[in-house]
Amino acid sequence: MTGEDAFILGYGYVGKATAKALEIPYYFSRGDSNITLKEGAKKLFCFICLPTPTDEKGRQDEARKVIHDYISQMKEYGGRNIFVIRSTVIPGTCKALTEEFGVMVASNPEMLSEDTWEEDALKPRIKIIGADDIPSRNALVTLWKPIRSKIEVITDTVTAETLKYVFNAFFATKIVFANQVYDICEKNGANYKTIREALMKHPWGSKHHFKVIHKGGRGAGGHCFPKDLKVFAKYSSSDLLKKVEELNIKYLQGSHKS
């Protein structure tokens, strides 16, 4: 089983990283393609690497519809694909699609940094494979076997989908916490740099996300943190995450960082 048995649906940096890691030569996107969906239906794996934009209420209606429509179209071609969602989707998405279409849908969330996606693709810090059926699980484990990682999580789809949000929500929470501590230091005259270095050195502290000024701004910005925090706060109804999101928005708006 090799990358020749798969194709990529969506060719942004997540799609390109997946193609690079698994040596998948085929891709389909609205802008550029070297395979048709009908041809892709003959492949074993369809890696869905589409963007998942979030509206102001924390919903992914548009993104889910796009994924839904692609799976619907490919099923009409009569293939027996294993659909592997690399995109960040609300927990329960894979199960819902499986039940609706009677196809195998697995969760294989990407854990990439946009700035270092090429390196992260070949040397991932963690691999997450979520599948509710044994054939999909075994096939994905085999396909990813050549790519080594210190942490491997083999689980069900809901756990895999949730885990991706938990990671980003936790990272965003650390960033907001660091900003809160920085503001306290600005008020009482404490040396934030000293406090940050002590936290970074302590085994129970954190080596990451405590650099308050990052890329010229404050808060948890970029493409993923704000939208994923919004979605997971809404999905979980967590009072903590709702507050973290509220504070993060203030930091982002205050520094014009997004």
Name the amino acid, one letter, at 239.
D
State yes or no: is 94 an active-site residue. no
H or E, element range at 58: none
Ramachandran region of residue 190, left (φ > 0), alpha (ψ -120 to 50) or beta?
beta
- CA-based R_g, the chain, Å: 20
SS3 assignment, position 214: strand
Q: Do 83 and 46 meet the contact criterion of CB atoms below 8 Å apart?
A: yes
Cα separation of 79 and 6, whole Å?
Answer: 13
The contacts of residue 221 (CB under 8 Å, 6+ apart) are 214, 215, 252, 257, 258
Active site residue ranges: 224
